[in-house]
Structure 1
């Protein structure tokens, strides 16, 4: 008799589970409830009833049921996994992680718990711990494609691209129709500039899921990065048609129009994105760049503060400081901490505001990246300079802090009041003497930079081969000031060049080399800012859609009086720029 009752109970639960899996939640719930009525001590039924409540969004009921199941059977690791899933729904990350860890205390090899904990760590950017969990899960069960996929995502965030490729590849190997893994692998290849390989995986994914908006969005970025604007716009529009409240695609559509110098439409899409998610700073940040480009500085500086409110604010500056933010309060008798931010060029451009800050009274402490420390040592307006040390700066005895690029807004800078006097950076005389012997005594000496840093290379770099005509100008000697991030770039030079960059160790060295030259020709890099800050004559090559600081259309810069701007008249038209530079450089050399 007992065996018959046990069989009936098992069959009943099995039937309920089947209904549950097929989405018949009400029927399954009713069966679980009947089982509990007959067997109040059935922990599995309480657990499964909690899962249904969670699916329905009734988190309070789900919590009661799952916790009751745990109370009855505290050694069941799966119950803690479900509890962790519930805390994930409640956005209680701390309790979510604690629940998964408790499951692993009971069963250290439970793949489901390792997988969930790995994902939770990844979502909180604890990537090293995430990788450990996922690798252990794979060791326990090497046939689960989702484990390789999540591990690939973790490696991608860690910028361990080789391992990320391998993980995504293994996921697809185990599940040939795994479109999510194909898209992630394609995105990884795309972001590394391997466009043909990325396109191959996008096309495979399209055959499997032609209506995927994730795929269309990713492919839109793929076209956008290659300046195929019509194709990118078509992909973005398809995503908007399917998901009108998709924040990211509206931001990207705005960026697309901005990249085409269509500022009116860019502002429209940024405004739409802002209405969709007012708390997200991305749209306001990109909108600020448009306003600053157009010279609308008052509103532009205000909205530029959104750079510090974005999800990726750490890319601007990696720390949140405990001291009050300075917003133009009196500084007499106070100490203010100014931190540099973003790229080297940003720091070089905006240190000009430190003497103005010092005039407000108080003591100025300036934090700068190590590569700029020697260059800016003793800079006017700075009482004490510290080097970024890879950890949060000490804030004891500091009254206020302020990001360097917030100073123009605080000082209410407009086009007429830019502090444009140069030089405000000078080279070390001893270092200058070391470089002087390497220049020609008879020719017009020109420094050249043609590669931007890797993250901007697809847009700002000019192929050296296109610049070859400037090497044939009579009485002009060309010296490279190029630092190579990748040794392959050096090995792939199309012709031999006397590259002083090979001997440059710091920006103080770069400044000394610049001082020995008559003119600098450079793409939009920190060298352009440094030469301009030194009052050296500079020819700056700009892409079709230039950075906000170069304004629009004009060929001079209010930031750097000795700089001439050369803009592309069409996307990727570097040749047209070089033709103009050859003429102007020939005139400059002849005049000298």
Structure 2
């Protein structure tokens, strides 16, 4: 093929390339290179074509060879620089752009590329300065404005970045990357719904682009649609199976769906795909945290920080893990570091509030939760945790309204019976009010006290409760009917979730309806238990653990062997719970002297009758504690350092249950020390000799 033929074929290939017929153009470029292996122009354009198709590894050797053959080819140096940036070698890219600009100082594309390399090297201020110079020199091109927006975003100036993207789009309306970046800037500003519109426009211009699909998934997750987010990430992975960023984002969506093991698998795949990327390790830390593997989560966050000590997200993730491990002071140090690099993230003051709550510094925790809400007014988790601290401090006037945030939390409760209006305490004389359980069995027992108060206002009260509580609650005075969850619900004029009753009825610490007993056991069952349980010794009931799936179980459940100091010849001890951990069951069998009542505790009515025949119940914070208190039985409850809000702070009694005495564990104190105080308080003849 002679020079004239080659020139003609090059013209034909360039026309096809510009027209979008890249397959035909590539065929011609390759034919030219077979005929003229050192044709730098064909080599450069074939590399450019492959780079445009995302085939970066195939483009790189062609471009390196092109600049070696024709070192005066500024455009080839620029294309090489762009490919090197995309491949993550920004240092080599900076050199390539420098060579292009040395050959042609006014070359706008090389100036923009150099700024992109500076940005990739974590030097956004230099990138911004370089772009300002390019634009001032007259290069009013879409790429320059788009890159300027990216530099401003990296500097935390997302609001200023938006006009840059607008200018880029005005100069090239089909510039998909500018639409995408505009959406990301809107997301930085918390405007996720607007952001999603821009990302959808970008995808319309560049269908099935994996990076854009990944950003779309992240936005859908932020908008509370993790299922749709997961679908978007999966589509992205079909196009780019090894993308660490998409794998990490997929892990976050899976976590939101409660699929925590799958989330960990995706996060670990991201680490394998990019072991040097801090974000992959940070996402793994989050997944481990959801699985309760907090030591490993702290280590994974540490691995992230080894790779990027400026990562606010990783400092935040490590703080979360340390808070769960009770290492609150260390968590606060991490949060200070997070705030220094990511100060507008509402999760940082939110997590500070959690650490301060763990330390018992509730007033400071409330201030932190409110700071989180100032950054994100819709932050329901912060409002919820604020309510827990307010209630623990006894500020029911502020705490009970804030407690309603439970309905809008990410792990929100399902709001039921919404076809009827929610009762707000208004006159319902002659009407029917449905009160319905919403949380745990203990919560329902505690709130059942309000049903007669509502009925006293002249309305007909129907209670819908968990089925295990039906026999126990059906005997309550003044209640028209008690039905089980899942039973047909009778016609009613209004409804109210039971945990909202203290708010509706204006409860304060001083006005808690605490008269007990407000529940009674069946007299026949009490008589039967009286014949079974021996007299002559102190009859002690023990409850050492609750539901292992409860979010705070590790703080409240105690090994049964820890109660040994309460046992002795003057004590007849009985285990009064239906679920027992394997280690506790083994200890009972090994001559503990505790009688296991599980075979006889068929329902809560049976448990109530057994409790009615005991002289003292020593328990952790479970539904049995509420039942014993509601029956007016002498109950000594072991309370962890961060107690549930209803047990308040710094007091040994409970306004909810007058017969209850609280034994509080100090921070750092072993449960054995608390139980020793319980043993010291027991009647002298019932105490094990020292």
Query: Is TM (by shorter chain) over 0.5?
Result: yes
Superposition deviation, residue 208 in structure 1: 0.9
Q: Answer with 448-457 or 273-282: which moved more.
A: 273-282
Q: Answer with 541-550 or 423-432: which moved more.
A: 423-432
Q: Answer with 49-58 or 581-590: which moved more.
A: 49-58
8 A contact 1:80–1:103 mirrored in 2: no
Q: What are the Cα deviations for residues 351-373 of structure 1, in whole angstroms up to 9, with x where unaligned?
A: 11111111222233333234434
8 A contact 1:426–1:534 mirrored in 2: yes
Partner in structure 2 of residue 91 of structure 1 = 193
8 A contact 1:84–1:98 mirrored in 2: no
Partner in structure 2 of residue 356 of structure 1 = 453
Q: What are the Cα deviations for residues 290-342 of structure 1, in whole angstroms up to 9, with x where unaligned?
A: 3433333334334444444x533714x54583543333322123333333333
Choose from 152, 156, 162 the match for 1:57. 162
8 A contact 1:293–1:547 mirrored in 2: yes
Q: Answer with 438-447 or 84-93: which moved more.
A: 84-93
What are the equivalent positions in structure 2 for 1:82-231 lying under 5 Å apart?
A: 91=193, 111=210, 115=214, 118-119=217-218, 122-128=221-227, 130-131=229-230, 134-135=233-234, 138=237, 141-231=240-330
Partner in structure 1 of residue 514 of structure 2 = 420
> What TM-score do you get using the length of structure 2 for normalisation?
0.68
- Report the aligned-residue RMSD: 4.4
Partner in structure 1 of residue 575 of structure 2 = 479
Q: Matches of 1:551 and 1:588 in 2, distance apart?
A: 32
8 A contact 1:84–1:99 mirrored in 2: no
Superposition deviation, residue 567 in structure 1: 1.1
What are the equivalent positions in structure 2 for 1:430-509 lying under 5 Å apart?
A: 439-453=533-547, 454-472=550-568, 474-484=570-580, 496=590, 498-501=595-598, 504=601, 506-509=603-606
In the alignment, structure 1 residue 294 sits paired with structure 2 residue 393: yes
Q: What are the Cα deviations for residues 379-433 of structure 1, in whole angstroms up to 9, with x where unaligned?
A: 334334444449xx97x95443333233223333233322111121223456657
In the alignment, structure 1 residue 400 sits paired with structure 2 residue 499: no
SS in 2 for 1:249: helix
SS in 2 for 1:576: helix
Aligned length: 561
SS in 2 for 1:472: coil
SS in 2 for 1:170: helix
Q: Matches of 2:477 and 2:353 in 1, distance apart?
A: 40
Specify every segment of 5 or more residues in structure 2 that has no aligned partner in the other structure, as ranges: 1-7, 19-44, 49-74, 83-107, 118-126, 151-160
- 1:255–1:142 Cα change, 3 Å: closer
Q: Matches of 1:576 and 1:253 in 2, distance apart?
A: 29
Q: What are the Cα deviations for residues 519-554 of structure 1, in whole angstroms up to 9, with x where unaligned?
A: 211111221111100111111001123222222222
Higher RCO structure, 1 or 2 (CA under 8 Å, sep 6+): 1
Q: Matches of 1:78 and 1:457 in 2, distance apart?
A: 48
- 1:233–1:147 Cα change, 3 Å: closer
SS in 2 for 1:336: strand
Partner in structure 2 of residue 343 of structure 1 = 440
Q: Matches of 2:315 and 2:546 in 1, distance apart?
A: 29
Partner in structure 2 of residue 566 of structure 1 = 663
8 A contact 1:100–1:116 mirrored in 2: no
Q: Which has the greater radius of gyration? A: 2
Superposition deviation, residue 271 in structure 1: 4.4
In the alignment, structure 1 residue 529 sits paired with structure 2 residue 626: yes
Partner in structure 2 of residue 37 of structure 1 = none
SS in 1 for 2:425: coil
